[in-house]
Structures are given as structure tokens and as C-alpha cells.
Homo-oligomer: A and B are copies of this chain.
């Protein structure tokens, strides 16, 4: 549970709300939507305000404990121990596919080379059609 250690080292307070949020993200393998996190938190600790939750998530992201990605309709979060990877999200059925990070490096290099642009390729979410959905039309 390195998150707690990180928070402590930075002189941040280990409040019950914060610990609970860290726990939830830690226990979930894979990613959680903001909505899911809010639901889980409030199930265990009814009074917690959503702004507390959003602030905690931002904080954890800033200290590298979680990764935050946007899907086009909201945000998803996953524990940094899951490692860097991207997601392919089917716009029809909503299915998500984990996708290897390396696939994006040639493009990253190309953008460097052609535009001198240092593209931020952490946690990309690509939408499109998955195998099943493209065959069923």
C-alpha cells in the first residue's frame, strides 16, 4: 500500500475518507469510473461529499498513485500498480480492451520528428468498434 506511504511522506493527512478512497481503488483490479468510486465510497461512509472524492482522486493522480483517463463521457481511474496501458472502448457495446503501450511509440516518435511536439501518451482511451459489434450490422 504505497499510496498511504506517499501521502504520509508529503505531510498529508490520513483522514478516514481518504483512506477509504485509497482502499477502494486499491482493491479494484482494473479501472473504475468516477461514478463507481462515488457509489462505493458512499456505501461504506454515507456522508462523504462528492467534492471530497474528486479532490482526493486529483490528489492521488498528482502524486502518481492513480492514473486518470477520460473516456469521452466521464473519467476512469486505475491504480498505478496496474501499470501504464491504454484502453480501446467500443462505442456500441461499451466493452473495454486493454491495449499495450508500445503500440503508440511509433506515432509518438513521428509527432516529435515532424512537429517537434512532445505528445502526452499516458493513458489514452480510444473509441471505435470491437470485433463483435462490427460484425453484427
Contacts and interface: CB of A to CB of B under 8 A. Distances in A.
Interface of A: 70, 72, 88, 90-91, 97, 99-100, 103-104, 106-107, 110-111, 114-120, 126-131, 134
Given A97-B115, A103-B114, A117-B131, 10 more contacts: A88-B119, A91-B120, A97-B117, A104-B107, A106-B107, A118-B128, A119-B126, A119-B128, A120-B127, A120-B129
Max chain B C-beta neighbours (<10 A), residue from A70, A88, A90, A100: A88
Contacts of A72: 70
A99 B110 CA distance: 11
Contacts of A90: 117
Contact of A116 (B104, B106, B116, B130): B130
